[in-house]
Amino acid sequence: SYELTQPPSVSVSPGQTATITCSGDPLPNQFAYWYQLRAGQAPILVIYKDTERPSGIPERFSGSSSVTTVTLTITGVQAEDEADYYCQTTDISGTYWVFGGGTKLTVL
Amino acid sequence: QVQLVESGGGVVQPGRSLRLSCAAPGIILRNYGMHWVRQAPGKGLEWVAVISDDGTKKYYGDSVKGRFTISRDNSKNTLHLQMNSLRADDTAVYFCAKGHCLNSNCDFGMDVWGKGTIVTVSS
């Protein structure tokens, strides 16, 4: 199986930019996806295929990729963005899904 | 916002079985691959299983392979997870999730989720 590595926590003040990284071996060959998870709620897909934003997701959420690392950027962080964020990808055969360990975003 | 609805969770003894279900009001599930994902207490998300839109392909995470079975009934628009030989480390919130497709192009993301159902394995 594969592993995706994320920082356990990121803290920013409101209005600042938060960057959350995700690294792992499958990433050069497979797209990454990002999810927002708040306690007691359903996860929300915020970025798909490395850089695409689903309809309804605010423009302040963006994604980028570079070799073995993908990055979720939240520009102009708002209090409501405080949540856990998870990256996800698949193995090269597309038959095994894997999540990163998650990053807790704290808005100070 | 459209959401899936999981059911069937509860408290079960180690070694016993449990069957989870997922309903999809407002979504025609037969057009999509479907997943189960879980989150153990204090832990991150863990992918459990996926089933193709027609039910012919099924893949599992290493920790549940051979014990769990994913299935679907497209005529009833429902998804299931049969969990056998349950262990304490299967204790988690179990989410069902729909595979992401845009204009009939599907990728490996999951774009509609439920709020989960809690499974506790304890004697």
The pLDDT > 70 percentage for chain A reads 99
Q: Is the pLDDT of residue B1 over 80?
A: no
In the 8-state DSSP scheme, what is residue B85?
A: S
Positive or negative torsion for Cα A103, A104, B1, B6 = positive
Query: Which of chain B's residues have a Cβ under 8 Å away from the Cβ of A89?
Result: 108
- Asked if the model's pLDDT at residue B14 lies above 90, the reply is yes
Task: Give the list of residues 6+ apart from residue B67 with CB closer than 8 angstroms, or none.
Answer: B83, B84, B85, B86
CA geometry: angle B58, B82, B27, nearest 5 deg: 65
Q: What is the rounded average pLDDT of the residues A67-87?
A: 96
3-state SS of chain B: helix, strand, coil percent to 5?
5, 55, 40
Helix/strand/coil for A83? strand
With a cut of 90, say whether residue A27 has pLDDT above it: no
Given CB atoms, is A7 within the 8 Å cutoff of chain B?
no
Q: Which chain A residues are closer than 8 Å to B108 by Cβ? A: 30-31, 33, 88-90, 94, 97
The backbone torsions φ and ψ at residue B8, rounded to the nearest 5 degrees and listed phi first, read: 105, -5
Query: A33 in contact with B at a CB cutoff of 8 Å?
Result: yes
Query: What's the pLDDT score for residue A68?
Result: 85
Are the beta carbons of B61 and A88 separated by less than 8 Å? no
- Mean pLDDT (whole number) for B55-79: 97
Q: Is the dihedral of CA B89, B49, B112, A79 positive or negative?
A: positive
Mean pLDDT of B65-72: 98
Q: Which of A56, A31, A3, A91 has its CA nearest to residue B107?
A: A31
Q: Which of A97, A99, A103 is the best substitution to test chain B (most B C-beta atoms within 10 A)?
A: A97
